[in-house]
Amino acid sequence: MSEPKAPTPAPGDTYKGWLFKWTNYIKGYQRRWFVLSNGLLSYYRTQAEMGHTCRGTINLATANIAVEDSCNFVISNGGTQTYHLKASSEVERQRWITALELAKAKAFRMQAESDDSGDDSTPPATGQGAGSRNSEVQSTLRTLGSKVEDLSTCNDLIAKHGSALQRSLSELEGVRLGGETSEKIRQVTERATLFRITSNAMINACRDFLALAQTHSKRWQKALQAEREQRVRLEETLEQLAKQHNHLERAFRGATVLPASQSNPAIDSKGPVSGKGDASDEDEENEFFDACEDVQEFITVPADPKYHRRSGSNVSGISSELGMDDGTTSLDEQSLASNPESPQSQELVPVRKRRTRIPDKPNYSLNLWSIMKNCIGKELSKIPMPVNFNEPLSMLQRLSEDLEYYELLDRAAKCQSSLEQMCYVAAFTVSSYSTTVHRTGKPFNPLLGETFELDRVQESGYRSLCEQVSHHPPAAAHHAISERGWTLRQEIALASKFRGKYLSIMPLGSIHCIFEKSTNHYTWKKVTTTVHNIIVGKLWIDQSGEIDVVNHKTGDRCHLKFAPYSYFSRDVARKVTGVVTDKDGKAHYVLSGTWDEKMEYSRVMQSSRRGENGADGRQKTVYQTLKAKELWRKTPLPEGAENMYYFSTLALTLNELEEGVAPTDSRRRPDQRLMEQGRWEEANAEKQRLEEKQRTVRREREREANRAASPSEEGKESADGAEEVEIASEPSETTYKTETLHGSHPPAYSMEGPYGAPVKSGHQDNYKSMWFEQLVDPVTGEPTHIYKGGYWEAKEQGNWDSCPDIF
């Protein structure tokens, strides 16, 4: 979300700017253009709408203005109109409140005066209206003078015609008429005289008023100018106080947060830490961190100036100055942020030119209810989901996208310090989510035995292989190895929970990264992905949860926290914070950033305990840190990405046809290829054919396994029939698992029993993966599939005879 511009006063009595207005619980706060003019507050969706479409107006003369917190305020007229508004900062909110209060007072005063004068009220200016106010007073005086002149003209006419009337009446008196007629004429003459006297008195009063106004106009102008100058001074004072309050708040609680450990009083590696620093108003060597929304038990402040070298650029000598002999003496801070081989600046010339575009996504409409109404009562795993909800990549290809920023691991492999290496590994874990922010399409569910290779040895020094190793529950194994000294492997299964408005997706399984030179072995798990607005509204993705990156050799640990998005949070969206500690719990680095943009690090120079307790009674830890430096930044999406499923540069090449790949490779999957070409009807038909073929193969495989296990049971029913009966008999004991990756759209479902246990059909499946074998991991103790070799040798020989025919 882009930051709203600060409201800027326009010449005269108009005040304009962007504010966030609460709409409803589905859309939350929406950005709107507000205009304060003539005692009325109006809003529009865009500035272009000002000429033709006003979305709403509220009269400030009868409105009530209430402040909720540092950024939120409410305007209500006591009736049906209530605006819940939110400014982007406390300073902006104070500017609006000041302008609204002054406009309300002026509107109320002018409304009271308009009962006699009929003039419309106008709101006061916001500090730049001195000339317009003088013009307003002079204009009022000129108007009054003009009205008096009109009255004077009317008086002349009345006097002229009155005199003529009296002469006529006098002449009538000379005529000999009856006594009754003479009496009537006398009465008319008296009334005409009274009328002339009254009109003369009225005109004289108006002339006296004009003279008095002109006499006192200069005094009124001076008093008005003094009031205006005083108001401007008060506005400037309030703005300065708001800024000072904001800075003090950031210094005190705008901090990195980390819960204190019950077992280690110094520090525990679990807890939230700071987000992006804001050093716009600070010294270039000082960095303050914004406050987290949670309970704050950890604070970072700028390090003492003695820790900064005079040159301001060389930080490598800090370790020796402080006598740090705990394994960090070889760390060069500049290598973290200034290495010329940074993933942003390094440009590799590819051996082969790869494609940079795919066919644009067709604009096909689809009624979800038209699909679901025909599936009532069916097993969810057998509901055919059309490709309209998909993107033309498989889950195996999405898993390979974790290597988008492989350069971070290349740089980590060169590190001499394990703590420095941990910073890069942590940044790599965050970078894998950067491609998901706009990717609401569901990847294709891989068929059992489907593979995907990503050979980038000549271009980037690594090669990767993924295989779908299980179908119930669905699981994919991934193995990547680099010539630059690192190996990455993982097995990911996915569980999900549908909660009405959103779908939560929980990846299961560990990710391992091993560095050849140092033999450091890192493991971590993925956070929860949430897909919002499943039923109504536009889909959007969020990542939330905590990650512990552990170095099993040294005991170093990095605790990362992905903050969930909140409409009411003052913090930056998609925020990630973390702290790197050694085996003794001592903090060495603070990490901050966002999972869709960049990550930064700050070196911890000193820590101390603060006497003030947190909300749960534990003391806060204060860390003095150096200025933050960048570790990783997201590469911009290619031009036209919004028409190509928001694919990154790497994603555009994943489904490009290549020679020599296995016949089970995702690039050879026909329904996925047809969808990429925009032939969605054919893709849906081909998808149903492949799914039915897979069911047939699975039933046959289960029959063979059952015959081998118990020859006497050959005449029993098919596996699918037995499974459906068992599932239908206990519907309350099952939940549903989705096959997706990184927050995709709801996919096809497979069945799970309580606590994630798979539903057993009573039949065995003797399937064994082609390139991976299941072993117990010696580090985590979890059963996992590990690459057993043979794939790249088979590719060199061009021998794929052992591969099944799955397409």
DSSP per-residue letters across 127-175:
S--HHHHHHHHHHHHHHHHHHHHHHHHHHHHHHHHHHHHHHHHHHHHHS
Instruction: Compute the average pLDDT of residues 575-596.
Output: 92
Peptide bond before residue 473 is cis, with ω within 30 degrees of 0: yes
Predicted confidence (pLDDT) at residue 775 exceeds the cutoff of 50: yes
CA-wise closest residue to 508 among 466, 476, 549 = 476
Confidence grade of residue 730 (pLDDT, cut at 50, 70, 90): very low
3-state helix, strand, coil in the chain (%, to 5): 35, 25, 40
Q: Residue 366's pLDDT is what?
A: 61
Most confident of 79-83, 345-349, 747-751, 756-760: 79-83
8 Å CB contact between 749 and 474: no
**pTM for this entry:** 0.57
Most confident of 55-69, 240-254, 411-425: 411-425
Q: Looking at 171-180, 204-213, 508-517, which range is the least confident one? A: 171-180
8 Å CB contact between 771 and 787: yes
Predicted confidence (pLDDT) at residue 697 exceeds the cutoff of 50: yes
Phi, psi of 387 (to 5 degrees): -70, -5
Most confident of 252-266, 759-773, 785-799: 785-799
Predicted confidence (pLDDT) at residue 593 exceeds the cutoff of 70: yes
Predicted confidence (pLDDT) at residue 624 exceeds the cutoff of 50: yes
Instruction: Compute the average pLDDT of residues 655-664.
Output: 93
DSSP state, 289?
B
Higher pLDDT, 406 or 5: 406
Q: What is the pLDDT of residues 394-440, one digit of tens each?
A: 999 999 999 999 999 999 999 999 999 999 999 999 999 998 888 88
Confidence grade of residue 562 (pLDDT, cut at 50, 70, 90): very high
Q: What is the mean pLDDT of the chain?
A: 75
Higher pLDDT, 345 or 192: 192
Predicted confidence (pLDDT) at residue 636 exceeds the cutoff of 70: yes
675-679 contacts at long range (C-beta below 8 A, 24 or more positions apart): 675/387, 675/390, 675/392, 676/358, 676/359, 676/392, 677/359, 678/359, 678/360, 678/361, 678/362
Rg from Cα positions in the chain: 39
Predicted confidence (pLDDT) at residue 485 exceeds the cutoff of 60: yes
Structure tokens at 589: 């680095």
Confidence grade of residue 12 (pLDDT, cut at 50, 70, 90): very low
8 Å CB contact between 408 and 428: yes
| Percentage of the chain lying above the pLDDT 90 cut | 31
Write the CB contacts of 530 (distance below 8 Å, at least 6 apart in sequence): 502, 503, 504, 505, 541, 542, 543, 544, 564, 743
Q: Residue 178's pLDDT is what?
A: 64
Q: Would you call 652 helix, strand, or coil by DSSP?
A: helix
Instruction: Compute the average pLDDT of residues 688-704.
Output: 88
Most confident of 306-315, 726-735, 796-805: 796-805
Instruction: Compute the average pLDDT of residues 237-243.
Output: 80
8 Å CB contact between 513 and 487: yes
Q: What is the pLDDT of residues 370-397, one digit of tens each?
A: 555 555 454 444 556 788 888 999 999 9
